[in-house]
Chain A
């Protein structure tokens, strides 16, 4: 494990770049725990100060330090993405593997639900949710709704793998040796599916962060929880672009781009970490 990561860092530049970018993002997120100001307090510093030594990313029109705002914002945004990805991965794995393995009626029922979720237009549904829930729309509720909408593509992907695994000899042997369905799925099939899940997890985090930012910028989320999107929302509310407070918009946008890039690079290089066959090709080649 330890060796593998070192090997990957040495030989795989995409992995190294991804790790470095994500490390920057995570350090910024962790700094939020030592933030000198509570995140929702306004007018704690002089407003509209451009980046300088005292305020490295400047201050905004609400009298907040952009750097510390950013730090809390990226923490919440990352946590949001990870929560959505974790919940939706569990759903996708459970549904995809069960459907592919069990086949027949179970497969048909699960996949018709799955296809329904694939064709539902996500954005209008999420906006609709906001208008229904209004003030009760919290960070956690949004994460849950997004997770429930974001599993369908991967469940189909996982099902296609499970379909082929079901007919392999080692599955037959496992069944013959008396393993039950959950045992076969968890012990024999899960290691096959994990590489796919790992790379789609990164993509799913990207997708949910993008979605959250979009909704927040438009004000369709809980605007009292500081996230990257909420920061941009307030910047727009204070017409930061027109007023020339460019650092208020540039900083969160740059950080989100760094996060996206880091996750994407990790997603593409993750397969070599998980799949022993491609890992060997890479390390020994």
Chain B
């Protein structure tokens, strides 16, 4: 929440509100989430499937379509003095910032490119409107940009199916960064790649991010990717951020019982894995989440208070926040 933060999310609640035949159902995919992302920072968001990661970033990107609805909370961007509150932004406001200031590498970004159009056309369709100028000038910019990303300019004349997975991924990232945005949202951009290609794509993301000086919100369930890339890491469980810390600190000293199990499940070189007990049960249904702390039915440290009221994120050390009654003293 400092002055240098680019994105401030406060108490965000976004639910899927469904109504059919007079019965209302609401899926609380994102519930009282607060965090901020600073300039030049790569913020990682981890969590298992259906923990609300994608919903959260869709909300942040303003790509909201019914039945998804923001119930309360604020999302504020600050692009070098240009402030915008996403929860109240009109279509015109969004059009003005998208791509130029805020870009989004979608989930399954392997298929961001239209398979029946040449890559060049996808660039023109998606990004030209945000840069302006003549088409040949624009294509020269694109050519220079993808050369920086170790791609041959001839990929522009290819169809997506003629490119390998790694190349397509690079093209998708080139497409998202062509306008040198202040903020990049990346939803599982490396999930479909093997580890070798993944490593080079991650290095590329890092170098692009450094070069254009943008902030990044990076989402994946793959903790090793987070360990490689991100500066800070937030762990989501059942629609809430349960713990947030600088990445190295979080791996060294996880506090929340869920994070502890998560980190303990990772294999480490040279360490014979201790026999840990598995967490019983499964993540809760977000249509009917448990009361209080959403982790309490599975938590080994559960106390009576956990079922009564949800714990808030409290700072326990420098930059380390955790939402748990059992950690760092009583609330």
Contact = CB atoms under 8 A, between A and B. Distances in A.
Task: Report if A and B associate in a common complex.
Answer: yes
B253 interface: no
Contacts, number: 63
A3 interface: no
B132 to A, nearest CB: 13
Interface in B94-144: 94-95, 98-99, 104, 106-109, 111-117, 121-122, 125-127, 129-130
A177 B125 contact: yes
A37 B130 CA distance: 62
Contact of A188 (B94, B95, B106, B117): B117
B327 interface: no
Q: Is the interface on chain A under 10, 10 to 19, 20 to 34, or 35 or more residues? A: 10 to 19
A169 interface: yes
B61 A176 contact: yes
B107 A169 contact: yes
Contacts of A178: 94-95, 98-99, 129-130
A277 interface: yes
A85 B117 CA distance: 26
Q: Is the interface on chain B under 10, 10 to 19, 20 to 34, or 35 or more residues? A: 20 to 34
The prevalent SS among residues of A at the interface is helix
B116 A169 contact: no
A172 B126 CA distance: 11
Contacts of B117: 187-188, 191
Contacts of A187: 117, 121, 125
A276 interface: yes
A176 B98 CA distance: 7
A192 interface: yes
A136 interface: no
Given A177-B126, A191-B114, A276-B159, A172 B106 contact: yes
Interface of B: 61, 63, 94-95, 98-99, 104, 106-109, 111-117, 121-122, 125-127, 129-130, 159, 161, 175
21 contacts: A168-B111, A169-B109, A170-B111, A170-B112, A172-B63, A172-B106, A174-B126, A175-B63, A176-B99, A177-B98, A177-B99, A177-B127, A177-B129, A177-B130, A178-B99, A183-B125, A187-B125, A191-B116, A192-B116, A276-B116, A277-B159
